[in-house]
Chain A
Amino acid sequence: MTSLLRDPLLWILLVVLGAAVAAVTRARRTNMALRVQEDALRRELGAEKAGRALLREETAALEQRHREALAEVRQEAEEETKAVLKAAMRTLQVLADEQQLIIDRTQKNYGDDPGVVADLMEIDHANSQFNRRAQGIAVLCGGWLGRREHPASVFDVARSAQGRIRHFDRVEINAQVNVTVVSRAVEPLAVVLAELLANATNYSAPEMPVVVGIQAVPNGVCLIVDDYGVGMSQEEKDRAAALLSPQGPVDLLALGNPPKFGFAVSGVLAARYGFRVSVDTPSPYGGVRAVVLLPGDLLTADADADAPAGRAGAGAPAAGARIRDLAPAAPAVVPTAATRAVGTTAGGLPKRRRVAAERTPARTPRPDSGGPELPERHDHPAGDDSETTASRLGAFARGTARGRDTTISEGSEEQ
């Protein structure tokens, strides 16, 4: 035993054992501490994660609010811009209208001089294009075009539209039917057609014509604008279709720079007045075919259609002698104020109405003497002051006319 105690190996073993126990104990302690620390850290991480998710949510909400606020600001800014533009355009429209009246008046005052009239026509042409631009912007800004006093034939609407574009001399109008457009739709239809014609002439070769066809369809009238251009790509067609059937207010900034107003203006007006504009049918000539479908409720049976009602606006008294009043009345004339006022011109002169020949076919329009017609009949009750005056003045005029006509039979003046 003592020998064993003296054995150094034993002591060494004991020492090593002690050290090992100490080391294990220390390791255990360290391990425990680390575990605790890890748990704490894990908890901390969880909390942090939850915090981060919360922050994310908050950020998303803030971003959403920011976007909404931006959209709102933008919409408000656009609305305000539109309101300002609308007012500004209104001034321009009024000025262009005034200028048009002045041109009308001057043309009539100096009408005998072809040079002056031709120059005035150039000014008029520029003014009409100017007015169309102002009207287009006004429409996109929610403005109105104003209303024509009288209904007009579709043919005249097409001609009016023709006058509002630069290359009006390339437009051909083929009217298979001639119906009348109600007065409130006259101006918007003319503006839409002018925009379509402007597109057609701008996007086709300068020497090629643009053809407007007017056709009756079961539920109204179709105006078809065909050009000989290269047509539109599918992308352009989609864009046009979207603009032509707008879902809300037009975004001015989306129209490009320089802006392309045509389809946007057409879409807004079509939606506002209840007609339809489309460009999705291919044109037989290879270019674009734009179709305006006017429903029956924008048409009227008013007999004004027979005359070029477009002449002589209310503001041009010099032109008060309306052709409308001279034109043959359609069989089913509604006796409107305009048709009743046949008797005299604005200047108080009698009008030689040739209606009588049609209403009483038994009478030859030109009696054997070659003189003017016999006194025309009045379809309106006697005692109507203007009618009586008209018939008296008419008798006077016929007298003088007959005086002049006595020489007709000489026949020497024929050329």
Chain B
Amino acid sequence: MTRPSEDDLVTGDFVRSYVITGGRRLPSPTDLSLHTLVTLAPDREPPRRASPEVRAIWDICAGGYLSVAEVAAHLGLPTAVARLLLTDLAEQGHLLRRAAPPPAQAVDRGTLEEVLHGLHALFG
């Protein structure tokens, strides 16, 4: 066992996540999925008594679209918690969001093979 002393480091997040959410219900992921892209609406001022997390979101999102997953990772918060904060901001009209870009369309295998053959013919 470690010897107790003042110098032992206490790790773990200092401010617990349920304090950040204020014990509120977490929103379901259907609205803001991991891939949903969000950014700040133009010409917005942060709420006057914004928490440090909200101010951090403000800084992170100011520069363009970021996915919800990225925002959560930058904040070092569980996605569900970041999602709650983002939902708040979206409800206050501070946030623009759009669905994730659709996955690339599956291209016909025959076409791809033709392209490959064409390339082989050109460059050996």
Contacts and interface: CB of A to CB of B under 8 A. Distances in A.
B86 interface: no
Contacts of B8: 144, 146-147
Given A146-B6, A323-B52, A404-B65, A315 B11 contact: yes
B59 A147 contact: no
> A117, A128, A152, A187 — which one has the most chain B CB atoms within 10 A of its CB?
A117
Contact of B9 (A121, A148, A156): A148
Contacts of B13: 100, 104, 310-313, 316, 319
Contact of A124 (B11, B17, B73): B17
B97 to A, nearest CB: 6
A327 B59 contact: yes
Given A108-B78, A322-B76, A415-B97, A144 B17 contact: no
Q: How large is the interface on B (under 10, 10 to 19, 20 to 34, 35 or more residues)?
A: 35 or more
Contacts of B17: 107, 117, 121, 124
Interface of A: 86-87, 90-91, 94, 97, 100-101, 104, 107-108, 110-114, 117-118, 121-122, 124-125, 128, 138, 143-149, 152-153, 155-156, 159-160, 162-163, 168-169, 184, 186-187, 190, 306-316, 319-323, 326-328, 345, 347, 351-352, 354, 357, 365-366, 371-373, 401-402, 404-405, 408, 412-415
10 contacts: A90-B2, A101-B11, A104-B13, A117-B26, A125-B18, A146-B9, A323-B74, A326-B60, A372-B63, A415-B98
Contacts of B53: 308, 323
A307 B34 CA distance: 24
A207 to B, nearest CB: 15
Interface string B1-24: 110111111111111111111110
Contacts of A187: 10
Given A311-B15, A321-B75, A326-B59, 10 more contacts: A100-B13, A111-B78, A111-B80, A112-B80, A306-B52, A312-B13, A313-B12, A352-B66, A366-B64, A405-B64
